[in-house]
Amino acid sequence: MPGGREVAVSLKEEVDLLRNIPLFSKVDPSKLKLLAFASERLTFAPGQELFRQGDSGDAAYIVIAGEAEVLVDAPGGPVAVARVGKNDLVGEIAILCDVPRTATVKALSNVVTLAISKDLFFQMVSEYPQFAIEVMRELAERLDRTTGQLREAVSAKARS
């Protein structure tokens, strides 16, 4: 995985971070401890890619600090379609659907993430229904936003 490993963070600090993320707020603290222990904290410098569109997905990333942009390849070059920041989850589509990465995510500032491997992510989804529900809720909200943006773009094009 790209990025640098951050050291000297206690397991308790990792669990506290996870507990404050809506996706994990209803997961039992003992399970959060397992997740924190099995995940890897990675840092990315401004301009560094967390992952690239088309790559295979080996992990999902929870943004702990910083901001990154989501870029999609287009005929005229990459197009920024979203920004992600603290407590956001990225990269889960590639591992959930077993498809190549659907976008590139690039750090805009120093970004600290918690990388959750594909195996661990699936373990969390299968063992903790509340986690699976929160992932579905997040994906549904993104789909709703994207559909709204498409509606606006089509409407604007029709007016011009």
- Would you kindly state where each structural domain of the chain is located, as residue ranges? 4-151
Helix (H) or strand (E) holding 158: helix 129-159
Class of 4-151 in CATH: mainly beta
Question: 134 vs 62, which has greater pLDDT?
Answer: 62
What per-residue confidence (pLDDT) applies to 47? 97
Q: How many whole angstroms separate alpha carbon 49 and alpha carbon 2?
A: 8
Where residue 8 falls among pLDDT bands split at 50, 70, 90? very low
Q: What is the pLDDT of residues 135-158, one digit of tens each?
A: 888 888 878 887 887 788 788 878
83's CB contacts (< 8 A; 6+ apart) are: 67, 68, 69, 70, 108
What per-residue confidence (pLDDT) applies to 4? 52
pTM across the whole model: 0.79
Whether residue 119 is predicted with pLDDT greater than 80 in this model: the reply is yes
| Mean pLDDT, rounded, for 96-125 | 91
Where residue 52 falls among pLDDT bands split at 50, 70, 90? very high
| DSSP characters over 80-141 | EEEEE-TT-EESHHHHHHT---SSEEEESS-EEEEEEEHHHHHHHHHH-HHHHHHHHHHHHH
Whether residue 96 is predicted with pLDDT greater than 90 in this model: the reply is no
Helix (H) or strand (E) holding 34: helix 29-38
